[in-house]
């Protein structure tokens, strides 16, 4: 009986609290000025990155030993990796350990430039490292750890940039010299075992990557144009089980792709968007769009190279800008955002609109006119889910920057005097 009474009292108190909170009208009315803002309208779309890299095949079975860093730029004929026999696995581990120790010493000797004395970073890697340290120091260590995870990834990229870039001269250092001698000695021993046939050289200039996609996943532009269900194929490629593998220090088989060299000028993507029946607003060849692949990767000024129309979906082929380098580990993304419209004008938060229509083209706004609140009709020109670009309807006075409106219109009625 006591438990039953306690439950009844708890439920009653809960209902009374909810009614009290929802019914009370003590929220302070807040006002704001209309400001000019740029709003980007986006649509969600899956994106696949078309493989256009030159792949180097393993000449024999063995262990792949990288001779350059991931993401390094090489010229035609540069050595990028070698294949050594399986029985030299311990020698490979010793060489890689010595190589890591050598680069670690270089980083320590180079150090970070003092941001107080040197306001501007001295090198590209110095700039990347400063940003990575700042992001890591500000990342939360409790609750949502996605920001911390991204900061750690940025730090790893910064360390790789330090290793790959020619660090400033630090003068003679006995420890660095000894580590370099030890590394080179181990490298010479492995080169003898690999032989001339086991050395992989770049066939074309470009960026080296040891992250290789599966051969069965390679599709060219014509294949994407003719495939029956591109959405399903992109979802399949985006699945974790179809992600590329890292061939570094791994056991490889003869004729297996182990290194790819990319040219940043040929980044091609295919995306699927709902078919637009309006001839004036649909995308056409030669146009440019912006694409948000992830919070860390935004591709602006992507050129539309080909459009394949469909009854329900259109396939849009895009060329990324030549100054953007896309990692070979990126195969497909199912939740990218394509910016289809950019508008600038008088903007208010979407939550401040009243009676927003289903097609998001009309709404009402509680405006302050001559010190008195008045609800007016507005046309919604663009909306990104957070802010909306609005203008007064043909029956209302035009909206101007610095006009006053009610941010939380549910707290006040029309005709109320604003002090």
Alpha-carbon distance of 268 to 48, in angstroms, equals: 9
Q: pLDDT: is 249 or 271 the higher one? A: 271
Per-residue pLDDT at 228: 85
Give the other-Cβ count within 10 Å of 144's Cβ. 8
Kindly state the average pLDDT of the residues 362-371: 90
Kindly state the average pLDDT of the residues 233-244: 76
Closest CA to 66 of 235, 212, 168: 212
Is a pLDDT exceeding 80 seen at residue 231? Answer: yes
Per-residue pLDDT at 166: 47
For the domain 26-40+343-411, what is the CATH code?
2.40.420
Query: Do the beta carbons of residue 203 and residue 76 sit within 8 Å?
Result: yes
pLDDT in tens, 283-312: 888 888 888 888 778 888 888 988 888 888
Per-residue pLDDT at 251: 83
Cα 148 to Cα 11, 152, 292, 318, 356, distances in angstroms: 40, 6, 21, 32, 37
Is a pLDDT exceeding 70 seen at residue 163? Answer: no
Per-residue pLDDT at 242: 63
Query: Do the beta carbons of residue 74 and residue 68 sit within 8 Å?
Result: yes
Nearest-5° Cα angle at 296, 154 to 223: 120
This model's pTM is above 0.85: no
Per-residue pLDDT at 164: 55
pLDDT in tens, 251-262: 888 888 888 887
Q: DSSP for 260-329, please give it.
A: EEE-GGG-EEEEEEE----TTTS--TT-EEEEEEETTEEEEEEEEEEEE--SSEEEEEEE--TT----TT
């Amino acid at each position: 009986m006591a438990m039953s009474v306690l439950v009844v009292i708890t439920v009653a108190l809960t209902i009374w609290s909810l009614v009290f909170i929802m019914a009370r009208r003590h929220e302070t009315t807040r006002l704001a000025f209309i400001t000019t803002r740029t709003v980007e309208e986006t649509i969600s779309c899956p994106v696949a990155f078309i493989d256009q890299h030159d792949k180097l095949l393993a000449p024999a079975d063995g262990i792949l030993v990288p001779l350059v860093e991931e993401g390094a730029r090489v010229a035609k004929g540069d050595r990028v990796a070698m294949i050594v026999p399986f029985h030299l696995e311990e020698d490979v581990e010793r060489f890689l350990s010595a190589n890591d120790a050598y680069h670690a010493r270089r980083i320590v000797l180079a150090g970070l430039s003092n941001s107080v004395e040197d306001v501007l970073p001295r090198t590209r890697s110095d700039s990347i490292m400063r940003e990575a340290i700042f992001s890591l120091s500000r990342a939360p260590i409790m609750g949502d750890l996605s920001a911390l995870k991204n900061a750690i990834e940025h730090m790893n990229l910064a360390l790789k940039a330090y290793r790959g870039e020619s660090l400033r001269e630090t003068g003679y250092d006995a420890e660095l010299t000894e580590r370099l001698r030890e590394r080179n000695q181990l490298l010479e021993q492995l080169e003898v075992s690999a032989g001339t046939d086991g050395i992989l050289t770049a066939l074309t200039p470009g960026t080296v990557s040891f992250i290789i996609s599966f051969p069965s996943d390679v599709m060219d532009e014509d294949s994407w144009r003719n495939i029956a269900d591109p959405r399903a194929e992109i979802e399949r490629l985006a699945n974790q089980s179809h992600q590329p593998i890292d061939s570094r220090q791994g056991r490889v088989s003869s004729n297996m792709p182990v290194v790819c060299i990319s040219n940043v000028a040929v980044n091609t993507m295919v995306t699927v968007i709902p078919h637009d029946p309006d001839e004036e607003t649909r995308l056409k060849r030669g146009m440019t769009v912006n694409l948000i692949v992830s919070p860390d990767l935004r591709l602006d000024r992507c050129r539309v190279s080909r459009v394949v129309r469909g009854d329900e979906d259109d396939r849009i082929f895009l060329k990324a800008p030549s100054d953007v380098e896309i990692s070979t580990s990126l195969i497909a993304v199912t939740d990218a955002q394509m910016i289809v419209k950019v508008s600038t004008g008088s903007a208010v938060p979407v939550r401040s609109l009243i009676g927003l229509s289903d097609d998001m083209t009309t709404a009402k706004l509680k405006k302050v006119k001559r010190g008195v609140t008045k609800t007016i009709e507005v046309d919604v020109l663009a909306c990104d889910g957070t802010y909306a670009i609005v203008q007064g309807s043909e029956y209302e006075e035009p909206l101007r920057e610095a006009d006053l409106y009610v941010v939380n219109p549910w707290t006040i009625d029309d005709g109320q005097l604003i002090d």
